[in-house]
Chain A
Amino acid sequence: MRLPSKQKTVPAIAVAAVLAVWQAACSLGLIPAFMLPSPIAVVSALVSDFPLIWSHTVTTLLEAGLGLAIGVVLGFILAVLMDRYQTFRLAIQPLITLSQTVPTIAIAPLLVLWLGYGILPKVVLIVLTTFFPVAVSLADGFASVDRDIIDLMRTMNASNLQIFVYAKLPAAAEQFFSGLKISATYAIVSAVIAEWLGGMSGLGVYMTRVRKSFSYDKMFASILVISALSLGLMRLIGLLERVCLPWKQIERKEHGKIIAS
């Protein structure tokens, strides 16, 4: 039982130490406040500007949620088609891999140019960045299914749909959630990047405004919120994974028992 507690305390101490050094450097005047606000200054900016930051956060979350949902559906459809039709897989794989080499930052201005300042270019950018991890993790997951299980199901005269539902989908579930976690962080970051380039509200818009007024404490406060959103979303997905894959929890526990005995 000593191991897990160490696994929690060491990272906590490391983070605290970095914050302490940062605070000390600012308090001792080693770094001028206009260049790098102290952690305390950042937190107080967050608190004092919270109502405004919150309203921008809602916009960003909405865009990220919508874009992620569409991205996941698109990724799922692509993965199913790649699994089902080898020709489709061969045709689409280089294309989607290539699409991921285009930097987000480079297509975001184009999207704004084509689609305006509303929510659309943000959502499109998020879809473009989030479908990929989902599609790839699912396609790999489907392919990882034990061939013998498929043979077994064939001896039961199972249909392709039944083989998919009972064998392939569960086989891909764990990898799917890993991909989803990556997509979730991409969703928040892409939303902010798209907002930088134009929009009425959102954390990216807030950031560009406070940057223009040189309020670096507020700038850091919004960075803090963005990190918190990503972490929160990952946590949420982790929880969802526990609920959806109860057998994985048991397997880990059983594995632990074997290691311990």
Chain B
Amino acid sequence: MAAPALEAQSLTLSWGDFAVAEGVSVHVDEGELACIVGRSGCGKTTLFHALAGLEKPAGGRVLLRGEDITGVPGRVSYMLQKDLLLPSRSILDNAALPLIVRGVDRDAARAKAGALFATFGLEGTEGLWPSQLSGGMRQRAALLRTYLMDNDVVLLDEPFSALDAITRVELRRWFAGMVRELGLSALVITHDVDEAIDLGSRIYVFDGMPRKGIVSRIVGEVDVRSAGADAARTTLMGLLGIA
């Protein structure tokens, strides 16, 4: 069997002496969209920082198609919890930033990013500033920028949480389609059980309260396809201890 697109092998996560999680093993298969759900503060973002190579985990390994990339940034695309558009640059230049940083010439970078604006539902916003966009549009711009980081494995940290309910459902359905169309492998964090079921083919439940000394762990895994949405919801609620 081929190695997963991305795999974390029993990671130990901490901030200095503050233990956040241990024994965290998760993976995303080629072309798969998997989700991680967990209560706020359990360490989801911390896990993604380790997967993205921004922080070196205290233990364990991160493998990209079998290659050890532990602590190496830039190998997987990562969309952080906030959209983080640079206020001083136009939407087009924000989207093209990964290309420009990589040394692509400015005009070529703009042309390449601009050609994708329609695909990402951003047509007409090229010359606007981030502050002129609605939350949904900002998120689309951030998704385009993430895509232009040009790795086919993407990590998304609560990409739809800041949006109103309608925009959220709309955008995540569109996003799931995009992932399939572009052939990406994606791992998505959410704290919304319904969103996880709607998006993911597999869902990991990450639980713990590091602030109270309860180190987080992966407490379960649900295969939505084989279980069905309703059974999956019941199992997830049970694992999270929600009555």
Residues on A close to B: CB < 8 A?
146, 148-149, 151-158, 162, 166-167, 170, 173, 245-247, 250-251, 254-255
Contact = CB atoms under 8 A, between A and B. Distances in A.
A226 to B, nearest CB: 35
Contact of A156 (B74, B81, B130): B74
B129 A247 contact: yes
Contact of B86 (A154, A166, A251): A166
Interface in B72-116: 73-74, 76-78, 80-82, 84, 86-89, 97-98, 101-102
Contacts of B132: 250, 254
Contacts of A146: 82, 84
A79 to B, nearest CB: 18
A157 B97 CA distance: 11
5 contacts: A155-B53, A166-B89, A166-B97, A246-B129, A247-B87
Interchain residue pairs A-B with the least CB separation, the first 9: A170-B88, A157-B74, A251-B131, A247-B129, A156-B101, A155-B78, A158-B101, A254-B131, A156-B98
B84 A247 contact: no
Interface of B: 49, 52-54, 73-74, 76-78, 80-82, 84, 86-89, 97-98, 101-102, 129-132, 149
A58 B28 CA distance: 70
Contacts of B77: 155
B98 to A, nearest CB: 5
A247 B131 CA distance: 8
A156 B86 contact: no
Contact of A148 (B53, B74, B84, B131): B84
B149 A149 contact: no
Given A155-B54, A247-B129, A250-B129, A167 B74 contact: no
Nearest to A246: B129
Contacts of A151: 49, 54, 80
Contacts of A156: 74, 97-98, 101-102, 149
A170 B87 contact: yes
B218 to A, nearest CB: 23
Contacts of A162: 101
Given A250-B129, A251-B129, 6 more contacts: A156-B98, A166-B89, A167-B86, A247-B89, A247-B130, A251-B131
B101 A157 contact: yes
Nearest to A254: B131
B149 A170 contact: no
Contacts of B81: 148
Contacts of A158: 101
Nearest to A251: B131
